[in-house]
Amino acid sequence: MRFDLHVHSNCSDGRDDIRTILRAAARRDLDGLSITDHDTLRGSQQAMKIIREDKLDLILIPGAEVTTSEGHLLVLGIEDLPPRGLGPEETTDLAREQGGIAIVPHPYHPFRHAIGRIPECDAVEVYNSKHLFGIANARALIGAKRRHLPAVAGSDSHFAATVGLGVTEIEAADAFEAIEAIQAGKTRIIGKRTPPKFFIGNTFKSIYLILTTGGGRRRKA
């Protein structure tokens, strides 16, 4: 089963609406995905409603990208959103209490609200399609192997056109089994880089904010 575990919609800072994203996922032969909007579950909730009403053949893993005190953290398989601003470890604990998992996205990318380390977590995003060069992904893979943590991929898509560029293959029939498979490390990574036209403007904006205000880490990307 092919999953994109890191997708943003217009419920936070993505461009496209949920229905457009779901249609794109189906066209690209994805079996499932997670809508991981920043500090909100609205995107996931809308996606679940549309999948049920339209009887789409897609598995949704509910999730969000939570802003911790050190950077961003993906939390999947949850019903209640952990508060923003907590430490990564505390956020991970809150996700696990709900039967969910925490994944460290783009842990070493300098302009993407990276935590900058691999804290206690359930998996590491070792392939992020929006990395222009492969260095940050390579560091993430090395870090995951050293910590003996499962590896996943994600498109980090903010456009429907880029959904499915970062795929995690998982043997699962539903969201619960997908979470279990990730925890067990039963994953395979398939990735293609996002064309620079889809993100290079945001990257330069983040660099500018960091250099001029020091506030890049507090903003979404």
Q: What is the pLDDT of residues 170-186, one digit of tens each?
A: 999 999 999 999 999 99
DSSP helix/strand/coil, 194: coil
Q: What is the pLDDT of residues 4-58, one digit of tens each?
A: 999 999 999 999 999 999 999 999 999 999 999 999 999 999 999 999 999 999 9
| Cβ atoms of 154 and 124 closer than 8 Å | no
Helices (H) and strands (E) in the chain, counts: 6, 10
